[in-house]
Amino acid sequence: MSSREAILNRLRTYRQPKPSQPAQAPAAASATLSIAEKVRLFTENLHAAHAEVITATQEDWTQRLLSFWRETGVHSVIYAPNTAHGQAIESAAHAYPELQLQAYEEDIETCKDRLFNHIQCGFGAAMAGIAETGTLMVKTGADEPRALSLVPPTHSLLIHAKDLYTDLPEALHQTRIETALPTNLLLISGPSKTADIQQTLAYGAHGPKRLVVVLIVAEESDHV
């Protein structure tokens, strides 16, 4: 008998009757917050997790992000070229000639050295945000390579206020992500960190040391 059969047989033989208690206590329905409240909570929680937030509009976000990179000495950025946000930053980057924008076009086997040793920042977008924990939901794939948000020491991430949800159950439910899970769905809540040495918090353990979130608010009411 194969190990598979042996294990499953044992489990079937000794299975206990189903619990008589209700399968699951009903989850308390979370109060749905207004966009302004979600923006406030989301920003607050990201700050608490040591991330930086740039609040911008649809019109000025590229300029604000480019200024941030210039001020913080970021000169090499990798991005996904087949995305609206990628193309927007590509067009705007003419105003920042020192910036080397590199499209993530090759397989990692080819660009691994550059990714690990030369690029300072990865730029991508989040499909959703979770206000309660300051979390960014990133759907990786052809347009959002996984290493973009992992290997370079700074990670810049774009998100729209309209894509903010109150908590994880709401985000999972509203985005209907379970029907189309990507290769790798990521929840990111701040820069990489560890407290493994004497419970002292240190940032940049293995992933990005800095997480910069560009939050696009569409209307006046979206602002804090």
Partner 1 sequence: MSRFEPATVNLEFDKRVSDALQDQELRANFRGAMDFLVGKRAAMFPDKEDLEALRAQGEAIRNRCLSQLPELLEQFEQRCTENGIQVHWAETAQEANAIILEIMHKHDATRMVKGKSMASEEIGLNHFLADHGVECLETDMGEYIVQLADETPSHIIMPAIHKNKQQIARLFNQKIEGVEYSEDVDRLIGIGRDVLRQKFFEADVGLSGVNFAVAETGTLCLVENEGNGRMTTTIPPVHIALCGIEKVVESLQDIPPLLRLLTRSATGQAITTYFNMISSPRKPDEKDGPREVHVVLLDNGRSRIYADKQLQETLRCIRCGACMNHCPVYTRIGGHAYGTTYPGPIGQVVSPQIWGLHTAGAITKACSLNGACGEACPVKIPLADLIRRLRYESNNSEPTPVPGPRGQGSLRKRPEAITWKLWALLSRKPGLYKLVLFLATRLRALAPKHIGPWTRYRSAPRPAARSLHELAAQRSQSNASSQEHGRHE
Nearer to partner 1, 56 or 159 (CB): 159
8 Å CB contact between 156 and 122? yes
Sites for partner 1 among residues 169-188 (CB under 8 A)? 169, 172, 177-178, 181-188
- Segment lying near partner 1 (by CB under 8 A), choices 31-39, 66-74, 86-94, 105-113: 105-113
- Segment lying near partner 1 (by CB under 8 A), choices 85-93, 158-166, 193-201, 216-224: 193-201
Q: Does 120 bind partner 1 (CB under 8 A)?
A: no
Q: Does 12 bind partner 1 (CB under 8 A)?
A: yes
Q: Does 218 bind partner 1 (CB under 8 A)?
A: no
8 Å CB contact between 153 and 209? yes
Nearer to partner 1, 17 or 73 (CB): 17
Residue count, binding to partner 1 (CB under 8 A): 76
8 Å CB contact between 51 and 77? no
- Cα separation of 4 and 76, whole Å? 50
Sites for partner 1 among residues 139-168 (CB under 8 A)? 140-142, 145-147, 150-151, 167-168
Q: Which of 190, 210, 217, 222 binds partner 1 (CB under 8 A)?
A: 190
Residue 210, number of CB atoms within 10 A of its CB: 21
Q: Does 22 bind partner 1 (CB under 8 A)?
A: yes
Look at the chain and count its residues.
Answer: 224
Its sign, for the CA torsion 139, 140, 143, 149, is positive
Smallest gap from residue 185 Cβ to partner 1 (A) = 4
Quickly list DSSP for 21-78: S-SSPPPPPPPPPPHHHHHHHHHHHHHHTT-EEEEE-TTTHHHHHHHHHHHTT--EEE
Smallest gap from residue 129 Cβ to partner 1 (A) = 12
Smallest gap from residue 188 Cβ to partner 1 (A) = 6
Sites for partner 1 among residues 29-88 (CB under 8 A)? 45, 49
Nearer to partner 1, 30 or 34 (CB): 30
- Cα separation of 66 and 123, whole Å? 11
Please state, in angstroms and as integers, the Cα–Cα distance from residue 204 to each residue in 162, 195, 201, following that order.
30, 11, 10
